[in-house]
Amino acid sequence: MSKPEFAEHIWTDTTAVSAVADRIADSVGLTLAPNTDGRVRGRLRQMAVTVRHARK
């Protein structure tokens, strides 16, 4: 049984994450803001998410 919300499939094996995100945003009518983080800020954000999600 298929539902209409799952009608569009995106092949992600060879597609960059940013391209997948853009395609999803386009399909639901959203515009994504550009990523303005530099390398250091992006890495710090990644580390903060990892620490917040670490299980104790």
Q: Which pLDDT score, from 0 to 100, does residue 31 have? A: 94
Distance between CA atoms of residues 31 and 33, nearest Å: 7
Q: Could you report the per-residue pLDDT of 3-48, keeping only the tens digit for each? A: 777 788 888 999 999 999 999 999 889 999 998 989 999 999 999 9
Q: What is the pTM of this model?
A: 0.59
Instruction: State the pLDDT at residue 56.
Output: 57
Q: What is the pLDDT of residue 14?
A: 93
Domain limits for position 17 = 4-53
- The number of folded domains in the chain is 1
How wide is the angle at C-alpha 7 spanned by C-alphas 2 and 9, nearest 5°? 120
The confidence score (pLDDT) of residue 20 equals 94
Nearest to 8 by CA among 36, 29, 37, 39: 29
Helix and strand counts by DSSP (H, E) for the chain:
2, 0
